[in-house]
Amino acid sequence: MIQKISEQEQIRRDALRELQELGIDPYPPQTFMINACAREIKENFPNNQSLYQDVQVAGRIMSRRIMGSASFAEIQDDSGRIQLYFNRDEICLSDDKTMYNTVFKRLTDIGDIIGVRGFVFVTKMGETTVHVKEFTILCKSLRPLPVVKEKEGKIYHAFTDPEQRYRQRYLDLIVNSEVKEVFRQRATLIQSMRDFLLKRGYLEVETPVLQPIYGGAAARPFKTYHNTLETTLYLRIANELYLKRLIVGGFDGVFEFAKDFRNEGMSRFHNPEFTQMELYVAYKDYDWMMDLVEEMVENIALDMHETTSLQVGEHTIDFKRPWKRYTMYEAIEHFTGTDISDMDEARMRDFAQNIGIETDQSMGRGKLIDEIFGEKCEPHLIQPTFITDYPVEMSPLAKKHRSKPGLVERFEAICNGKEICNAFSELNDPIDQRQRFEEQIELGRRGDPEAMMLDEDFLKAIETGMPPTAGLGIGIDRLAMILTNSKSIQDVLFFPQMRPEKTASVQGSYAEFTQAGIPGQWAELLEQAGYGSLKSLHEANPNKVFNQLCGLRKKLKLDIPAPGIEEVTSWINT
C-alpha cells in the first residue's frame, strides 16, 4: 500500500485498466485538432444555423445526464462550457455498442478530458448543443472533482474552503469560473501598464533578484547562500538601486515588473513574494510622476472595465483624473485637527501617545509621523488620493524638498485605505545620499529592524552622476485587488504562500514491515496506525501496538483473526 485510495479513486483506476484492455489509450499522444470553442459556438450558432456542421471541440467533462441510449454531457474548455448530445446508435454505427454502453456510460467520468466531432444543433429545451458523432478520450482523470451546480445564478455545493482552493488552485480554476476571470483581468492590468510605458519609449529591463546588499526599501529580507562565491546573498526587497544605476548608465527611462521578497508577517494584504513595477525617468520630478500615475491607472481601469468608476467592497471608487492631493501634514491636520509640522521629536511623541499610538525609543520623528499617518489617515482615504511631501527621516532615497525644509519630494497614492504606489524625485546628491545612509545606520543602532544598509557600490554609481530622476514603485498585487474587487491578496495570486502540508510519511514502511516478516495485512494496519518505519515500531510499547491493531481490525470490520500478543511482541523485538 503505497498510496491510500478512496473507493471513488479505485473505481476510476479500474475503469482506466478496462479502457486499456479494450485497446483504448487513456492518454493518447497525438494532437487533437480543434476548430471551435464553447463560447464562439454559443455566440454564433443561434444567429446562423448553417455554421459548425463539422466541429471538433475538446474539454473536461463537467456533468453527465444519462438516459438509456441517449445522454447529455457538458464539457468545459478555456472559453466556457457547452453541452454535448450522445446517441448510442450514432456513436456506434455497427451492432457493437461498446463505445457507448461501456466506454462512454461506464468508463467515462466527470473530470475526464475528451475530444468530440459532430454538428451543432439546438435542443428542445433551447440549448445550443454539439450532436456527437465520434468522441476520443484524451485524458482519464483518476480523482473525483468537486461538483458545483448552478441555476439562475444560485450556486449549489460551492467549492469554497480557502485552504483547498489555494493549495489546489487547479481545482478552484476548473470549478469556480469567476476565478479564471480574476486572473485574466490581472493579466490585462499588467499588459495595459506595459503598453502604456513602452508607448512612451521606456526600456523594460531585468535586474538581479539575488543581491549581496539588499536595499531600496525598509523591510526584512530572505537570506540565502551562494556556495561557489562563499557569500551571503539576499532575495531582493526592491530593485530601486539597480534601476538607478541604469539611469546613471545613460538610459533615460527604465522599468521592471519585479518579484520582490519580504520576510515579514502574512495577511490578506501581504504575501512573502509580491510583484511591484518600478519606473525611473531621467530629467523628471515627482510632480511629473504624479501626472503619469493618474493617467496610467485611469487608463488601466478603462482597459479592464471600460469605465473609471468601480464597485470595490462597499465603496464606489473612481479613478478618473485628477485625483485629490494632500501634503502629509495637511492630511494629518485634516484627520486629527492638529498641525504637527512644527513639533520636535519629543512633542510629537507626546502627541502620538495622546491620540492612542504606541511609541518606543527606536522611533525617530519621521517614524512617528508615519505612524500617525498610518493610524489616523490612511484607512480613511478611499478615493485615490496623492499624499505628498514626507519627512526626510523616513525617505532616505528621496530628494530634499525644493522649498520645505525637513521634507522630501515624495508622494504615495492611497486608495481604498491602502498604499498603491510610492514615488519620489530621486536623490542624486551623493554627499547627501551618504549622510542619509549613515542616519539609517544610526536608526539601526537604535533598534529599527528595517533601517537600510549602506550600499557603497550604489554610492559609487551616484558619485559618477545621475541626472535628476523621478522614480515610482507601484504594487501590482494591491492594484489588482482593488481593480478586481478582491478582498484578499490570495485571490489575485495563483499560488499564495501556505504553510507546507504535514503529510504522514508512510511510504515504504509497508515493504520494510513485510521484509521483517510481518504479514501483509498487519503491515498495512501498522502503517495506518501511524508507524512510519521499523525503527518507530521498535520503539513502541507492544501492548499499545497490539491494542491499536485490534482496534483497527474491529473498526475496519476486517475478516481476519486477531493477532496474538506474543506475535505482535515478536515483531517489535526482532
Taking the complex as a whole, the smallest distance from the CB of residue 392 to RNA amounts, in Å, to 12
User: Using CB under 7 A, which residues numbered 100 to 119 contact RNA?
Assistant: 105-106, 109-110
User: Using CB under 7 A, which residues numbered 192 to 231 contact RNA?
Assistant: 217-219
Taking the complex as a whole, the smallest distance from the CB of residue 250 to RNA amounts, in Å, to 27
150 is a contact residue toward RNA (CB under 7 A): yes
Neighbour-count burial for 464-484, b at 16+ CB within 10 Å, e otherwise: eebeebbbbbbbbbbbbbbbb
539 is a contact residue toward RNA (CB under 7 A): no
Number of residues interacting with RNA: please give it, by CB under 7 A: 83
394 is a contact residue toward RNA (CB under 7 A): yes
Instruction: List, in sequence order, every residue forming a beta bridge with 398; answer none if it has no partner.
Output: 426
151 is a contact residue toward RNA (CB under 7 A): yes
123 is a contact residue toward RNA (CB under 7 A): yes
CB atoms within 10 A of CB 402: 9
Nearest residue (CB) to RNA, 302 versus 565: 565
Residue 317-356 contact track with RNA, rule CB under 7 A, x = bound: ----------------------------------------
Q: Which three cell numbers stand for residue 293?
A: 500615475
Taking the complex as a whole, the smallest distance from the CB of residue 293 to RNA amounts, in Å, to 14
Among 39, 133, 270, 315, which residue interacts with RNA (rule: CB under 7 A)?
A: 270
Residue with cell string 531585468: 206
Nearest residue (CB) to RNA, 37 versus 421: 421
CA 16 to chain centre: 34
126 is a contact residue toward RNA (CB under 7 A): yes
Residue 384 and residue 419 in contact, taking contact as beta carbons nearer than 8 Å: no
Among 63, 141, 207, 570, which residue interacts with RNA (rule: CB under 7 A)?
A: 63
User: Using CB under 7 A, which residues numbered 2 to 41 contact RNA?
Assistant: 6-8, 11
Nearest residue to 542 via CA among 568, 516, 524, 519: 568
76 is a contact residue toward RNA (CB under 7 A): no
Taking the complex as a whole, the smallest distance from the CB of residue 255 to RNA amounts, in Å, to 17
User: Using CB under 7 A, which residues numbered 173 to 192 contact RNA?
Assistant: none
Q: Look at strands 154-156 and 149-151 and give their pairing.
A: antiparallel
In angstroms, rounded to a whole number, what is the distance separating the alpha carbons of residues 148 and 154? Answer: 11
Residue 468-497 contact track with RNA, rule CB under 7 A, x = bound: -------x-----------xx-x-------
In angstroms, rounded to a whole number, what is the distance separating the alpha carbons of residues 214 and 234? Answer: 6
550 is a contact residue toward RNA (CB under 7 A): no
499 is a contact residue toward RNA (CB under 7 A): yes
User: Using CB under 7 A, which residues numbered 244 to 263 contact RNA?
Assistant: 262
Residue 444-473 contact track with RNA, rule CB under 7 A, x = bound: -----xx-----------------------
419 is a contact residue toward RNA (CB under 7 A): yes
77 is a contact residue toward RNA (CB under 7 A): no
Among 358, 405, 566, 573, which residue interacts with RNA (rule: CB under 7 A)?
A: 358
Residue 426 and residue 280 in contact, taking contact as beta carbons nearer than 8 Å: yes
Q: Look at strands 149-151 and 203-204 and give their pairing.
A: unpaired
**Residue 270 DSSP label:** B
Nearest residue (CB) to RNA, 249 versus 449: 449
In angstroms, rounded to a whole number, what is the distance separating the alpha carbons of residues 444 and 442? Answer: 5
Strands laid side by side in the 469-475 sheet: 203-204, 253-261, 273-282, 469-475, 418-425, 407-415, 385-391, 324-327
In angstroms, rounded to a whole number, what is the distance separating the alpha carbons of residues 289 and 294? Answer: 9
Nearest residue to 275 via CA among 355, 186, 399, 179: 186
264 is a contact residue toward RNA (CB under 7 A): yes
92 is a contact residue toward RNA (CB under 7 A): no
**Residue 400 DSSP label:** B
Number of continuous H segments (helices) and E segments (strands) in the chain: 20, 20
Beta carbons within 8 Å of 212's beta carbon, 6+ residues apart: 231, 232, 233, 234
